[in-house]
A and B are shown apart, each in its own frame.
Chain A
C-alpha cells in the first residue's frame, strides 16, 4: 500500500465528517446505578477515611491550620533546627562523608562505576533481545 498525499486530505475530510456526525453512543443502563452505589459506599465511610478532597471545607481548612501550626512549633521548639545548628550539622555531615569517601568508597569507586556501566549495557542488550525475539508478535490482536 502506498501513501498517496492526494488521497490524504480528501479521505481525512470525508471520514472526519462522517465520524463527527455519528450518533451519540449510549452508556449502558447499569452505569448510573453502579456509579451511585459506589459513591454511596464512599459517602458511608467516616470523613477521615475518605480522600482529603472530599472532606468538608471546614475540616480541610482546619487540617491545613493544624499542619502549619505543628510545623511552625516543631521548627521553633527544636533548637538544632536554627540556622546556626543547621550550618554546624552540615559541616559535621560533610566531614563524615569525606572520611567515608577516603576510607571506604574512594578505593573502589572506579571499579563500581565500571561494573555499573557493564551491568547497564548487559540489561539493555537483554531487553532488546527479549523485545525482538520473545515479544515481537504480541501486540496485534
Chain B
C-alpha cells in the first residue's frame, strides 16, 4: 500500500467525523467542507506522526474545532459573539423559535423529514452564539467553564446562551 493509498483510507475513515464536527459548529455545509479539507491537509503534513496514532481522531476533532472557532471569529464579523452586550438575545431567540416553527409548517418538504433530521437542521439554524457553546457542551463534552474560557465570554453568558438554545430545540425532542 502506497502512502497516498494509506492517506486516502485515513480520510475515508474520518471524513464523516471531521465534517460533522465542522458543520455542527459552523451551521453551513459549504464552510464546513472548506474547514474539513484544511483539517485533512494539516493531517497530511503530519501523516507520518499521526497516521497510525490512536490519538488521530482526537487530534482531528481538536484541529477541526479550533479552525471552526477561528473561522467564526475571523470571517463572519459577529461582533457580539464574544461580547456581553446581547440585549436582544432573549426576544430574538423566541422569535427564532417561532420562525423555525412557521418555516416548518409552511414547508411540506420539512414536514416529511424525520425527527432526527429536523433536530439536526434546527441545531444548525440556531444563532452562532447559541449553537457553538451548545455543540461544544453536548458533542465535545466540554464543561461550561471550559467553553467560557475557549470563547472568551463569561460563564453566565454561556449558561444563558446554552439554555436559550435548548429552549429553541425543545419542540424537536
Chain A positions within 8 Å of B, measured between CB atoms, are 1, 3, 8, 11-12, 14-16, 18-20, 22-28, 30-32, 34-36, 38-40, 42-43, 51, 53-54, 57, 131-132, 135-141
Contacts and interface: CB of A to CB of B under 8 A. Distances in A.
A40 B40 CA distance: 13
Contacts of A39: 4, 7, 40-41, 44
A14 B19 contact: no
A53 B16 contact: no
Interface of B: 4, 7-8, 11-12, 15-20, 23-24, 29, 33, 36-37, 40-41, 44-46, 48, 77-81, 83, 85-86, 88, 90, 92-94, 116, 119-120, 123, 127-129, 138-139, 160, 163-164, 166-167, 169-170, 172-173
A50 to B, nearest CB: 8
A1 B90 contact: yes
B11 A11 contact: no
B44 A28 contact: no
A141 to B, nearest CB: 7
A14 B85 CA distance: 30
Dominant secondary structure at the B interface: helix
B106 to A, nearest CB: 19
23 contacts: A3-B160, A3-B163, A12-B166, A18-B172, A19-B139, A20-B138, A23-B116, A25-B20, A25-B24, A26-B19, A28-B33, A34-B37, A35-B15, A42-B44, A53-B45, A132-B85, A136-B80, A136-B85, A138-B80, A139-B81, A140-B80, A140-B88, A140-B127
Nearest to A57: B48
A16 B138 contact: yes
A51 B46 CA distance: 10
Given A18-B172, A35-B11, 5 more contacts: A11-B163, A19-B119, A35-B37, A36-B8, A136-B85
A48 to B, nearest CB: 15
Contacts of B167: 1, 11
The 3 closest A-B pairs by CB, nearest first: A139-B80, A27-B19, A25-B20
Given A32-B8, A42-B44, A27 B173 contact: no
A16 B166 CA distance: 9
Which of A11, A26, A27, A30 has the most chain B CB atoms inside 10 A of its CB? Answer: A27
B16 A42 contact: no
B68 to A, nearest CB: 14
A28 B11 CA distance: 12
Given A25-B24, A31-B19, A39-B44, A139 B37 contact: no
B163 A141 contact: no
Given A1-B94, A19-B119, A31-B19, A40 B4 contact: yes
Contacts of B116: 22-23
A88 B138 CA distance: 62
A11 B167 CA distance: 8
Nearest to A135: B79
